[in-house]
Structure 1
Amino acid sequence: MQIDLSHKTALVTGATGELGRVIAYTLAQCGADIIIHYHQNEAKAGKLKQQIEELGRKTIAVQADVAELDSVLRMKESVLEAGFSSPDIVVANAVSQYTWTSVLEQDSSDYVDQFNSCVLQAVHLSKVFVPAMIERQTGRIVAINTECAMQNFPTQSAYVAGKRGMDGVYRVLAKEIGEHQITVNQVAPGWTISEKDRLNHTERSESYESTVPLKRRGTDQEIANVVAFLASDLSSFITGAYIPVAGGNVMASI
């Protein structure tokens, strides 16, 4: 049994990021054509596009601000004009970076920023791409959440607020569109080893690893593998799930 995404088109937002690149490439390895979304890094989008084309997959790189509905609508228009179908799979991976600090010191604009990049991204992607899934009576939405949403550690407040708000949108969405055989799930990585860590030799963190039952950090590929599973027909009866991929560092309770 293999994950087969042949004849599927997948949109990956934030596809030029450390995790996004691996997710997009992994879905392409499974046979999907890829819509590479980027916000600012056109060069990395171009490099990823070339790598995916070398796999024999059809791909396009499209710029958009996922926090703006009009921008997401323009992204869809660009995709359709390029001869792609509306995506069968939407991976909501884009994230906004900011400086973490205490609630008392965090600038209010950081909470707005995280609301825009987490909650509004979920809303906009749904409004723009779910109608075509409903018409086809099938589809997969996979959102990237975080173990932080369960940990609630000091300095995480803006990030946690955004991701918890996103969680609420996707759980409601799963119930609203489930009758159309569209699944909506979330993958929650722990502190993940990325290509940047490999280049800088910063893969290890004994203090973090000591809290993880598997006693190591997970890899970007391990996260991408779960995304690929949830994007496939193998996960056809899973929806509304928040799935930690964190080595047991957080465990969703019953």
Structure 2
Amino acid sequence: MLEPDLTGKIALITGATGQLGRVMAHTLADCGADIVVHYHANRLQADKLVAELTRMGRRALAVQADVTDRDSVFAMRDKVEAVLGMPQILVHNAVIQYAWKPILQQDPGDFDSQYRSCVMQTVYMAQAFVPAMQAAHYGRILVINTECAALAEAGCGAYTAAKRGLDGLCRCLAKEVAEDGITVNQIAPGWTITERDRDANTQVQPDYDRQVPMGRRGTDAEIAQMAAFLVSDLASFTTGAFIPVCGGRVMPAI
């Protein structure tokens, strides 16, 4: 049976302690990958996730870093390399979130912070980890974007601006590293059902659901399964892609 095989690979997931991050960590581990659990503040959740992954028979390491700070990202690289080795897979999932407001009401600092957590995270991660991928002539970079980047709806100007900037950066990076056997792709989830929704029984959101051709919200598992495909060799000739996983709410045109 054809399935993503990540055996022998090391995957670093930023924001791995978050709702989606934890599911992606388990999914990539299910496919055979060892996992670097990046966290910013939630050490308890990071340690819990490492224990879960270890019980699955995978090597796992929790590493703290501020992905908006270059020195912190490079320090993370050094620790990962010393303990597990250099990752072949990067999943850029961490992001700073703010309350959505009209642009005229949004604190200007929010725009800068969103940019740093989206665009500069990817710059620093690339500068830290891509040289080893180039030396190995192999690498997979997956960036979590959002349907909001395509929809550009009212009230999410800071978030949309940062994610659109991220999209442009990823397309440039994909072209710069393609000849080195490195792919760079993006997933654009919609409003995703996570553990938080299941606990609160808020999976159904009629106002949003009626805007989705498939009539429902997607799940964290559905996002993670697309992630597993894109970082596997099943997607070895796919790079520079922006793939909505949102039930058809966004359909990029050609």
Q: What range describes the TM-score normalised by the shorter chain of this pair? A: over 0.9
The answer to whether structure 1 residue 100 and structure 2 residue 126 are counterparts is: no
Query: Which structure 2 residue ranges, 5 or more long, are not aligned?
Result: none
CA distance in 2, matches of 1:220, 1:190: 10
1:64 aligns with 65
CA distance in 2, matches of 1:98, 1:209: 23
Q: Which runs of 4+ in 1 moved over 2 A?
A: none
CA distance in 2, matches of 1:156, 1:50: 37
Query: Which structure 1 residue ranges, 5 or more long, are not aligned?
Result: none
Residue identity matched to 1:48: L
- Give per-residue Cα distances to partners, 1:182-207, cap 9 Å, x unaligned: 00000000000000000000000011
- Give per-residue Cα distances to partners, 1:128-176, cap 9 Å, x unaligned: 0000000000100000000000111111100001101111111000000
CA distance in 2, matches of 1:171, 1:85: 27
CA distance in 2, matches of 1:141, 1:212: 28
1:117 aligns with 117
- Give per-residue Cα distances to partners, 1:112-131, cap 9 Å, x unaligned: 01011000001000000000
The answer to whether structure 1 residue 35 and structure 2 residue 32 are counterparts is: no
CA distance in 2, matches of 1:163, 1:241: 15
- Give per-residue Cα distances to partners, 1:187-244, cap 9 Å, x unaligned: 0000000000000000000111101010010000000000000010000000000000
Q: CA deviation at 1:81?
A: 2.1
1:183 match: secondary structure: strand
1:166 match: secondary structure: helix
Q: CA deviation at 1:20?
A: 0.5
Residue identity matched to 1:16: T
TM-score (norm: length of structure 1): 0.99
Query: What's the C-alpha RMSD, in Å, of the aligned pairs?
Result: 0.5
2:136 aligns with 136
Residue identity matched to 2:163: K
- Give per-residue Cα distances to partners, 1:57-105, cap 9 Å, x unaligned: 00000000000010000001111222x1111000000010211100100
CA distance in 1, matches of 2:3, 2:148: 31
The count of corresponding residues between Structure 1 and Structure 2 is 253
CA distance in 1, matches of 2:196, 2:92: 21
1:13 aligns with 14
CA distance in 1, matches of 2:82, 2:239: 31
Q: Could you tell me the percent identity over the aligned residues?
A: 53
